[in-house]
Amino acid sequence: MTQLFGEKNKSELTRELIEALFPMFEEASAGAIAVDRQSRITWINNRYSQLLGLKEPATVIGRQVRQIIPETRMPEVVETGKPLLLDIMEYQQQQLVVTRLPYYDKAGEIEGAVAFVLYDDLQPLTPLVSKYRRLHQDLAAARKALAKKVRSTRYSLGDFVGASPGALEVKRRARLASGRDMAVLVLGETGTGKEVLAQAIHSISNRAEKPFVGVNVAAIPDNLLEAEFFGVAPGAYTGADRKLREGKFQLADGGTLFLDEVGDMPLALQAKLLRALQEGEVEPLGSNKVALVDVRVIAATSRNLDAMIAEGSFRSDLYYRLNVLEIPIPPLRDRLVDLGLLCETLLWDISESQGVRAEITDAGVSALASYSWPGNIRELRNVLERALTMGEDSGVLDADAVFKVLPRNSVRTDSQLAPRPVRPLAETLAEAESHALEEALVASRGNRTKAAKLLGISRSVLYEKLAKLS
């Protein structure tokens, strides 16, 4: 078939070959037509005539094919000599699947073309056409999303999970920061979700369509930090690229630059960072030219910057430049009421990514609350994954499954968070009843008849219970 349509040997698809193959093609098709070198119709069969609504097929012989079939591409096949093996042609609100072939004379010159209607009803092809269109749409959507999401964010404010007073205050400040183009300093222990919050602020700010560029200061050697931040000029040193290598500031231009673990930045670079923030310009390493940048900085650290300033390891002027709005994230041990929500969110994510069932009982959550969580939410996810891996196939984590994977000697010992001792049930009930009686008397301003009604008991029973308390 390669030679059949080849450029150098066009004479093989001759009129004789067409005539030999024609009966088979015509029988398998819903219509057939032929044109000459001038794209004039030389032949049309009855099926195609009926499909086109022609009462007298002979009346169209010799006429230009486009006068009869405006959407046809037969003239294109005749002009180029290239077949159109599969095409969908619109004709009077019908969709026809057509194949078109050129044919040649013995001298190798184009003599004309033939066309066969393979399908006059796309219904049998609906699954195939639908799949093609869906794949095409998915590809277009993926390309669009990829273009949009280059150096963008994964997290929104909804990904910072929690309903405790501490978590709600964090979200309030994050919304405040997103509405104003100010520098933000996020404080919190490792694993509390500082980058999640930084991305969330960017995603709801007026810079959301611009890049979000994150850099972990602690993960980059000190001698490479300047190049990482400000870029490298062409040929700045032996082995350097012959073109400008952009730094994080240039990459984040117009968007947000997230400086994680900014407390680990060496003093020499702190001065250059301060100038970049104050002047809105950077000077690539080895260059004498400055580049203007428009960057909103969100910095984060798990270190005590106040103590570092006091000891001289962090510049106070840089601190004030970064700390326009401070957002402290409380550690997990200080917002244990969020444990249930966090477990639900993390287990849903684990189940989605690993394709397993992942649930936790109330007793399992209570077991988690007995731990001090030095690694915070990052450690919580790790513990949940280990508990699922080490536990039974049911995918349901109870207290026993949790205690098996918690570190030894992990129960909190500080007096404020230590669990209350278990008391006899009768003693607990007596205390609760006494408390209820006091509340009823306060609400009724000492009127015992009203207090009895509030408690749903008779006045005599109220007197009896009050006598036991005296």
β-strand partners of 41 = 35
Considering the domain boundaries, does residue 79 fall inside one? yes
pLDDT at 91: 77
CA 311 remoteness from chain centre: 42
Same domain, 171 and 227: yes
Helix 222-230 and helix 267-279: axis angle, to 10°?
10
Same domain, 242 and 207: yes
Q: Which of the two residues, 351 and 441, has the higher pLDDT score?
A: 351
pLDDT of 359-385, one tens digit each?
999 888 888 998 999 999 999 999 999
Indicate the number of domains in the chain: 4
Query: Strands, DSSP E only, in 8-158?
Result: 32-36, 41-44, 84-91, 94-104, 110-119
Residue 222's pLDDT band, with cuts at 50, 70 and 90, is confident
pLDDT for residue 40 is more than 90: yes
pLDDT of 280-304, one tens digit each?
998 888 777 888 999 999 999 999 9
Q: Which of the two residues, 88 and 209, has the higher pLDDT score?
A: 209
Distances (CA, A) of 251 to 123, 150, 256, 258, 269: 51, 11, 10, 12, 19
pLDDT at 144: 55
pLDDT of 104-117, one tens digit each?
888 888 889 998 88
pLDDT for residue 1 is more than 60: no
When pLDDT is averaged across residues 352-360 and rounded to a whole number, the result is 84
CA angle 40, 42, 44 (to 5 degrees): 115
Same domain, 389 and 282: no
The CATH number for 348's domain is 1.10.8.60
Q: Which of 125, 144, 167 is the last residue of a domain?
A: 125
Same domain, 251 and 395: no
Same domain, 227 and 343: no
The CATH number for 34's domain is 3.30.450.20
When pLDDT is averaged across residues 66-84 and rounded to a whole number, the result is 88
Q: Which residue type, as a one-letter code, is found at position 199? A: Q
Q: Which of the two residues, 158 and 238, has the higher pLDDT score?
A: 158
Q: Which of the two residues, 417 and 1, has the higher pLDDT score?
A: 417
Considering the domain boundaries, does residue 5 fall inside one? no
pLDDT for residue 420 is more than 60: no
Q: CB neighbours of 80 closer than 8 A, spacing ≥ 6?
A: none
pLDDT for residue 5 is more than 80: no
Contact 198, 257 (CB under 8 A): no
Report the C-alpha gap between 310 and 457 in whole angstroms: 65
Write out the two tokens for 261: 């673990």
pLDDT at 325: 95
pLDDT at 145: 59
Same domain, 61 and 107: yes
Identity of the highest mean pLDDT range in 24-28, 319-323, 344-348? 319-323
Same domain, 318 and 286: yes
Q: Which residue type, as a one-letter code, is found at position 89? A: M
Considering the domain boundaries, does residue 152 fall inside one? no
The CATH number for 165's domain is 3.40.50.300
Q: Comparing C-alpha atoms, which of 228, 211, 210 is closest to residue 219?
A: 228
Considering the domain boundaries, does residue 237 fall inside one? yes
**Which residue is it, tokens 């609906």?**
126
Same domain, 108 and 231: no
pLDDT at 458: 86
β-strand partners of 113 = 35, 102
Q: Comparing C-alpha atoms, which of 30, 380, 369 is closest to residue 193?
A: 380
DSSP assigned state of 443? H
pLDDT for residue 342 is more than 90: yes
pLDDT of 137-189, one tens digit each?
676 666 555 544 545 678 888 889 988 899 999 999 999 999 999 999 999 99
DSSP assigned state of 329? P
Domain that holds residue 429: 425-469
Same domain, 204 and 310: yes
Report the C-alpha gap between 350 and 355 in whole angstroms: 8
Q: Which of the two residues, 182 and 437, has the higher pLDDT score?
A: 182
Considering the domain boundaries, does residue 131 fall inside one? no
pLDDT at 239: 54
CB hemisphere CA count around 8 (13 angstroms):
2
Please state which of the ranges 26-35, 58-67, 126-135, 317-326 shows the lowest mean pLDDT. Answer: 126-135
Same domain, 315 and 204: yes
Burial of 110 (0-12, 13-18, 19+ CB in 10 A): middle
Considering the domain boundaries, does residue 142 fall inside one? no
pLDDT at 121: 65
pLDDT at 124: 60
The CATH number for 463's domain is 1.10.10
Same domain, 308 and 337: no
Considering the domain boundaries, does residue 417 fall inside one? no
pLDDT at 415: 43
Same domain, 221 and 316: yes
pLDDT at 2: 33
Q: Which of 307, 328, 349 is the last residue of a domain?
A: 328
Strand 296-301 and strand 184-187: pairing?
parallel
pLDDT for residue 422 is more than 60: yes
Q: What average pLDDT does the structure give for the chain?
A: 82
Is the pTM higher than 0.85? The answer reads no
Q: Which of 264, 299, 328 is the last residue of a domain?
A: 328
Contact 12, 3 (CB under 8 A): yes
Q: Which of the two residues, 167 and 422, has the higher pLDDT score?
A: 167
Residue 4's pLDDT band, with cuts at 50, 70 and 90, is very low
Report the C-alpha gap between 249 and 435 in whole angstroms: 62
When pLDDT is averaged across residues 242-258 and rounded to a whole number, the result is 87
Q: CB neighbours of 233 closer than 8 A, spacing ≥ 6?
A: 240, 244, 284, 285, 286, 287
Q: Comparing C-alpha atoms, which of 384, 373, 401, 400 is closest to residue 348?
A: 384
Q: Comparing C-alpha atoms, which of 191, 189, 177, 396 is closest to residue 296?
A: 177
CA 206 remoteness from chain centre: 19
**Which residue is it, tokens 């009895």?**
452
pLDDT for residue 212 is more than 90: yes
Residue 421's pLDDT band, with cuts at 50, 70 and 90, is low
pLDDT at 256: 95
pLDDT at 390: 85
pLDDT at 146: 52
Q: What percent of the chain is predicted at pLDDT more than 70?
A: 81
pLDDT at 6: 38
When pLDDT is averaged across residues 92-105 and rounded to a whole number, the result is 82
Considering the domain boundaries, does residue 169 fall inside one? yes
